[in-house]
Structure 1
Amino acid sequence: MKIDTSNFLMRSPSALGELGIAQPQPAITPSMYASPSTSGFLSVFESAVLDVDARTRAASDRVAAVDAGHSDDMVGAMLASQEASLSFSMLMQVRNKVMGAVDEIVKLQV
């Protein structure tokens, strides 16, 4: 039995879905962090830094609201604070790995 793959490869994604074939979806794509006009590591890292900053500011605002008595959501404030702390720690680990890789590249003898 011979299978004609040319017809199969020309099908649209919706036609493949009708056949029960799911299109693979990447877990993380650069477009999640980078704007459509820019790409590359710099824009992804910049977006990650801005995201960590936004989480930190939001956590600070929630803690300040609890301290001032404007909110009773102490658990939410503590969770936001921990989330911001973990995000910052992860960002610093990525930064340290990148700096270690750059140092190794600089040490290479050509």
Structure 2
Amino acid sequence: MKIELSSPMLQAMLATRTTLAPGVAEQGDGTGGTGFAQVMKSAISQVDGQQHAANDTTAAVESGQSDDLIGAMLSSQEANLSFSMMMQVRNKLMSAFDDIIKMQV
């Protein structure tokens, strides 16, 4: 089993960063570009997929269909870390949004 130190969510964010203009988080201009909302939906669906995969492997070990306990634990920890990272990104976004709301014009 190959263990990667970067999560699919982080890889998607890094790939998207190169496609967007520097410093611009756009919603999409109708030209097929990837917008911020689409990137976030994709990242959330990837984290959700990891959660489901971890649940499936854990259920297989518990029911005796698989004896890959280490793989189940690794997938569970990977899903947990991905979820934690997603929550940290969410918290940073909410903090930035609050700072923008509090700005005086």
Q: TM-score, normalised by structure 1?
A: 0.69
Q: Does 1:41 align with 2:32?
A: no
Larger relative contact order (Cα-Cα within 8 Å, sequence gap ≥ 6): 2
Q: What is the percentage of aligned positions where both structures have the same residue? A: 53
Q: Which amino acid aligns with 1:53?
A: D
Q: Which of 45, 49, 56 is matched with 2:51 structurally?
A: 56
Picking from 1, 14, 23, the partner of 1:28 is 14
Tell me if 1:73 matches 2:96: no
After TM superposition, what 4+ stretches of structure 1 lie above 3 angstroms from structure 2? none
Residue 87 in structure 1 maps to residue 82 in structure 2: yes
The root-mean-square deviation of aligned C-alpha atoms, in Å, is: 2.1
> Number of aligned pairs?
81
Q: Deviations over 1:10-32 (max 9, x none)?
A: xxxxxxxxxxxxxxxxx922189
**Long gaps (5+) in structure 2:** 1-12, 19-30
Tell me the residue number matched to 1:7: none
Q: Which amino acid in 2 is paired with 1:82?
A: Q
Query: What secondary structure does 1:29 align onto?
Result: helix
- SS at structure 2 position matched to 1:28: helix
Structure 1 residue aligned with 2:8:
none
Higher alpha-carbon Rg: 1
Aligned to 1:103: 98
